[in-house]
Structure 1
Amino acid sequence: MAGVVMAKSMPKSMRKSMSKAKSMPKLVPKSVPTCVVGAARRVLRAGVALGVVGLVVGAAAPVPKPKPVAPAVDPHEADVAQHGSLTLADGRLTVRLTPQNHGPSDVADTTLRLVWSVPLTDRQELPAGCVRSARTTVLCRTGALTAGSRGDEIVVPVRLKGLRSEVSVRIDTLWNGGAKDINPDNNRHEVLVLETGDVYTF
């Protein structure tokens, strides 16, 4: 009764508003179809499975081994040598030699040193590229020597002071363009020459 009295005592505008609210449809959330939920679950499971497979494949992938690196060749390494012959007759000793470069690098120039065991006469006629540096020593340039090649033959005739029955001659490389000689034994020679006119090779 009190509720009725209260409703009657409400203003007319308020009673209309409450009547409209009662007549509005209720917003009840509809249930999601089962097929949609199932599809979403399958997508989620597939994504997780792919992630696991990716991790397994990544872990099992072989790590490439580094390729062996060939040792670098020293650009200043060269095996310089010289070979030739000597003869002694009538106080005149002649040296014939051919410089060689066995490689592996080219050489711009080399200087050979020839040392006699006895003094030379003051006047000498030396070939181009050769100079006298001491009483018993002559230096000769070979010119450029490419790897695996031979240079031009160098002929050095000298006159000795007095007649000698034998003379020792030492031949070596004084300078090889700053290259590291990996086999210095083949450019150092010492030859004993008898005054017979015979040819002595080295």
Structure 2
Amino acid sequence: MTGVRIGRSERVGRLRAWVLVGGWCGVAALGAGGPAWADAGPQADLAFHGSATMSGDHVEVRLTPRNNGPSTVPDASVLLRWSVPLAERQELPQGCARTDERTVVCGTGALAVGGVGEQIRVAVALRDRPSEVTLEVDTAWNGGVVDPDRANDTMRVLVLDTGDAYSF
């Protein structure tokens, strides 16, 4: 699958930490009935944990999805976005698709409450050979459930060209 070309390349500043984990904090409107998301439907807390390794112009990501409940997730997908463009040709695993020049989305399958999904392993080739890359991991789709705690499924990881695994 060929990615869409973006007219202007993005530059990412040099990060001083080896691994950065950030999250989006949702602001819930509080009223007499509690937070606004409480009545929005089934809830599930998705989490992604894994590692990324960079060697030359290749990055390998291994991640495992988890559903901390309280509801089952019928299907979900995880977004992997790199700070640099990927090479034109990629051999992605089944269940993964390239959505633009820097992004790959992979399905997780159904996730039972308290369940751990199958490990997702994605190896990509980068267009150039940078000394570092920032990987963003996020939920692309959550199967229609509400996730009130996005802090453990949205993160950024700085991966250096050392061959070492950087965990998230």
Counterpart check, 1:94 vs 2:60: yes
CA-to-aligned-CA distance 1:38-60 (integer Å, 9 cap, x gap): xxxxxxxxxxxxxxxxxxxxxxx
Cα distance change on mapping 1:73 and 1:104 into 2, 3 Å? farther
CA contact (8 A) 1:98 1:154 kept: yes
Counterpart check, 1:136 vs 2:102: yes
CA contact (8 A) 1:97 1:155 kept: yes
Gaps of 5+ in 1: 1-71
SS of residue matched to 1:150:
coil
Give TM-score, length-normalised by structure 2: 0.75
CA-to-aligned-CA distance 1:54-112 (integer Å, 9 cap, x gap): xxxxxxxxxxxxxxxxxx99751100111000000021000000000000000000011
Q: Distance in 1 between matches of 2:127 and 2:101?
A: 10
Deviation at 1:175, TM superposition (A): 0.9
Counterpart check, 1:125 vs 2:97: no
CA-to-aligned-CA distance 1:115-136 (integer Å, 9 cap, x gap): 0000001110100100000000
Tell me the number of residue pairs that the alignment of Structure 1 and Structure 2 aligns.
131
Gaps of 5+ in 2: 1-37
Q: 1:109 aligns with which of 68, 72, 75?
A: 75
Give TM-score, length-normalised by structure 1: 0.63
Q: 1:193 aligns with which of 159, 164, 168?
A: 159
Deviation at 1:195, TM superposition (A): 0.3
Q: Distance in 1 between matches of 2:132 and 2:71?
A: 38
Higher helix share: 1
Relative contact order: is structure 1 or structure 2 higher (C-alpha 8 Å, sep ≥ 6)? Answer: 2
Higher strand share: 2
Deviation at 1:190, TM superposition (A): 0.2
Deviation at 1:178, TM superposition (A): 1.2
Identity rate of aligned residues, in percent?
Answer: 50
